[in-house]
Amino acid sequence: MDNEWTTVEILRHSRHDWLNKIQLIKGNLELERSDRARAIIEEIIIESQHEARLSNLKMPQFGELLMTANWQPCAFRCEFEVIDTIKGCSDLDETITAWTRELFTILNESLDGFSENVLTVSIFETNAKNIRFTFDIEGSRKEDDSLMRLLSQPLDKLERVSSEFTETCVVFTLDMKI
Q: Which CATH class is domain 7-177?
A: alpha beta
Alpha carbon distance 124, 126 (integer Å): 7
Amino acid code (one letter) for 57: L
Who has greater pLDDT, 144 or 21? 21
Domain borders along the chain are 7-177
- Residue 81 has a pLDDT of 96
Q: What is the mean pLDDT of the chain?
A: 89
Query: What is the tens place of the pLDDT at every residue in 57-115?
Result: 999 999 999 999 999 999 999 999 999 767 778 888 999 999 999 999 999 999 988 89
In percent, the amount of the chain with pLDDT more than 70 equals 98
CB neighbours of 52 closer than 8 A, spacing ≥ 6?
Answer: none
Give the other-Cβ count within 10 Å of 89's Cβ: 18
In percent, the amount of the chain with pLDDT more than 90 equals 56
CA angle, residues 8, 97, 178, in degrees to nearest 5: 125
User: Residue 49: which of 80, 10, 12, 25 has the closest Cα?
Assistant: 80
CB neighbours of 168 closer than 8 A, spacing ≥ 6?
Answer: 138, 139, 140, 141
